Structure 1
Amino acid sequence: MTYVPDPACEVAHGDVRPESGTRTLVAVFASPVAGFLLSFGAELGFRTLLLEPDPARAPAGALTSAGPELDDTADVVVTDHHRGEVGPVLRDILARPVRWVGIMGNPRHEGPHVKALTELGVPPEKIAQVHRPVGLNIGSRTPAEIALATLAGLLADRNGRPGGFHF
């Protein structure tokens, strides 16, 4: 009997590397969630970037503005909706050709980004491009869980799947 490799087994045994180079994950604002997003995202084959507009908070290598790195491969996750610069940062991100933009927050009430973007003159159709909430509904409470749920949603999208438990 000849052994025929099973692709599913190769994945389970770590013999298949994740897709790489086709998606960029951009975490906005240095935060615990951003740290987990970037760490887990790199393991999942995303090119990872941190955008931190405050130079005093920006670690080495972080972007401080939305530049050419935010192209049509970029999935952007804003990790803090309480930061005062959320409006200008999102306005600048929405002006780039990014693939997807999401902001963390409770879906039961309007996010502060809506008012901030409206006051900056961003058209309603651009504001509507900002996804909220982000990630799969798994009851996330910790930064690691939030990052996991967010990346699960982005991974499902990258793989052309709806997410959840529909196979």
Structure 2
Amino acid sequence: MFESAVAEVLLRLAVEVGFASVLVEPDQTKLMGTPKPHGDLFVHDFAAADLDEHTDVVMADHDRPELGDMLKQALEAQTRWIGVIGNPKKEGPHIAALKALGVPDDQIARVHRPVGLNIGSRTAAEIAIATLAGLIADRNNRPGGFNF
């Protein structure tokens, strides 16, 4: 969710490994200009994204004013997995945003932050790869890493 450099790479790679990928970008001005790859589908709201219990939601921008509202919708849709990209050393802004919307603590705890495997990601592509690898590991009930 949310157009960003990380979202662009994540959506493109997700298609390559068999995920149906949807970009939800409520701000239509964010996608003006040169067309970019956005996975299988691009929509402006969650209602059009058809979220369900099989859906993984990754918020690819933690500084958006819509973050709380969009996370609340993802939680209400009972999606399989929800995460917000961000620095693990700082409390995510999603916590205060969700509390302000009256979301219970047990539901807030469903939101993963940071997302992805700990590979020291710095670039958008590295963050996308770590995120996608983490989603694949979670779907396969694996911890990730090099222990088999």
Q: TM-score, normalised by structure 2?
A: 0.89
Cα distance in 1 between the residues matched to 2:43 and 2:106:
27
Displaced runs of 4 or more, over 6 A = none
Q: Indicate the SS of the match to 1:73.
A: coil
- For the pair 1:54 / 2:54, whether they are aligned, the reply is no
1:38-117 aligned within 5 A: 38-58=11-31, 61-67=41-47, 69-117=50-98
Instruction: Read off the aligned partner of 1:113 and give its amino acid letter.
Output: H
Instruction: Read off the aligned partner of 2:125 and give its amino acid letter.
Output: A
Once the two structures are TM-superposed, the CA of residue 57 in structure 1 deviates from its matched residue by 2.2
Once the two structures are TM-superposed, the CA of residue 63 in structure 1 deviates from its matched residue by 1.8
Identity of aligned residues (%): 54
Cα distance in 2 between the residues matched to 1:97 and 1:88:
15
Q: Which residue of structure 1 aligns with residue 126 of structure 2?
A: 145
Based on CA coordinates, which of the two structures has the bigger radius of gyration?
1
Q: Which residue of structure 2 aligns with residue 12 of structure 1?
A: none
Give yes or no for contact 1:58–1:64 (8 Å, CA) kept in 2: no
Greater relative contact order: 1 or 2 (C-alpha under 8 angstroms, separation 6 or more)? 2
Q: Which residue of structure 1 aligns with residue 115 of structure 2?
A: 134
Mark the runs of 5 or more structure 2 residues left unpaired by the alignment.
36-40
Instruction: Read off the aligned partner of 1:141 and give its amino acid letter.
Output: R
Question: For this pair of structures, how many residues does the alignment match?
Answer: 140
Once the two structures are TM-superposed, the CA of residue 158 in structure 1 deviates from its matched residue by 2.2
* 1:119 alignment partner, one of 100, 117, 126: 100
Cα distance in 2 between the residues matched to 1:43 and 1:37:
10
* 1:5-47: CA deviation from partner (whole Å, max 9, x where unpaired): xxxxxxxxxxxxxxxxxxxxxxx10111000001000001101
Q: Indicate the SS of the match to 1:109.
A: coil
- For the pair 1:37 / 2:10, whether they are aligned, the reply is yes
